[in-house]
């Protein structure tokens, strides 16, 4: 009898949480109400990862371009961000979640920066789930800072130009200590990656849904993981090269 194979689960899930504003507008409510509803979906996504053994979750919370949004919306987002840091960190720590932030931190207010540092220090030893929040982040900015770090190493004599390869660049990217995302999910209906993890998503499986972020539920995430489990990840090779080796070869007497 052939036993059913366990569903393939991504080690690292990356998510663009899109649709908060439209969710609120469809209800004729201020956009900030959508962002509050979106915060609940974040907790659901974290719960899902913990339940399914996903090791890393990277959430695109606030892009470097989002600073150009209306001042009142940015202010409301910063207040929500601060409140979440005050309210959620102890519970994340209790559940073994390590919290980390990537992006241009110097654009945040000192109070928020202090909370971010405290949250990272408080959870640094946790291993159950690595939660990365991309805030004031841009993929091009990430590549640029890696190039700058390489240039500084060359100028200081720590590195030769001919030693710069993909591994050297990857080691200086924001998520250098994590495996690249296996699965990328974007809610809200748009089919683009919007300057998110440009380097890291090179061979990531992409999955898009019309579901607005505040409407996220476990069934939507189940559909994404079911789709992921059915894909053949070749990384530039052929199907024959990546085919799994059979776990049981027939005995000569079986023929």
pTM comes to: 0.87
Residue 6 falls inside a structural domain: no
CA dist list (Å): 60 to 31, 186, 187, 189: 18, 10, 11, 16
Residue tagged 């601060």 (tokens): 82
Q: 10 Å Cβ neighbour count for 8?
A: 14
Distance from C-alpha of 216 to C-alpha of 87, rounded to nearest angstrom: 21
Q: What is the CATH number of the domain that holds 213?
A: 3.40.1180.10
Residue 159 falls inside a structural domain: yes
One digit per residue, pLDDT tens: the chain, 255 residues?
A: 444 445 689 999 999 999 999 999 999 999 989 999 999 999 999 999 999 999 999 999 988 888 888 888 888 888 888 888 889 999 999 999 999 999 999 889 999 999 999 999 999 999 999 999 999 999 999 999 999 999 999 999 999 999 999 999 999 999 999 999 999 999 999 999 999 999 999 999 999 999 999 999 999 999 999 999 999 766 666 666 555 544 444 443 443
Residue 223 falls inside a structural domain: yes
Residue 251 falls inside a structural domain: no
Q: Which structural domain range is residue 224 located in? A: 12-245
Total domain count, the chain: 1
Check the CA dihedral 118-82-45-208 and report its sign.
Answer: negative
Residue 34 falls inside a structural domain: yes
Residue 255 falls inside a structural domain: no
Known catalytic residues are 18, 66
* Residue 129 bridge partners (DSSP): 97
């Amino acid at each position: 009898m052939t036993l059913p194979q366990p569903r393939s689960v991504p080690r690292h899930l990356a998510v663009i949480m899109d649709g908060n504003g439209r969710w609120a507008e469809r209800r004729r409510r201020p956009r900030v109400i959508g962002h509050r509803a979106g915060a609940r979906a974040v907790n659901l996504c974290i719960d899902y990862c913990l339940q399914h053994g996903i090791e890393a979750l990277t959430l695109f919370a606030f892009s470097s371009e989002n600073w150009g949004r209306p001042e009142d919306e940015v202010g409301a987002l910063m207040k929500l961000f601060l409140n979440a840091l005050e309210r959620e960190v102890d519970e994340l720590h209790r559940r073994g979640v390590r919290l980390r932030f990537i992006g241009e931190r110097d654009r945040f207010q000192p109070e928020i920066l202090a909370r971010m540092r405290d949250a990272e220090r408080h959870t640094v030893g946790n291993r159950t789930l690595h939660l990365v929040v991309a805030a004031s982040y841009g993929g091009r900015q990430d590549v640029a800072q890696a190039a700058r770090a390489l240039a500084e190493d060359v100028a200081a004599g720590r590195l030769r130009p001919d030693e710069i390869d993909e591994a050297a660049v990857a080691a200086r990217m924001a998520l250098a200590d994590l495996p690249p995302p296996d699965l990328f999910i974007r809610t809200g209906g748009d089919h683009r990656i919007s300057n998110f993890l440009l380097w890291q998503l090179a061979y990531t499986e992409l999955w898009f849904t019309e579901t607005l972020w505040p409407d996220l539920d476990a069934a939507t995430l189940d559909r994404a993981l079911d789709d992921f489990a059915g894909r053949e990840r070749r990384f530039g090779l052929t199907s024959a090269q990546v085919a799994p080796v059979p776990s049981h070869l027939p005995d000569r007497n079986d023929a």
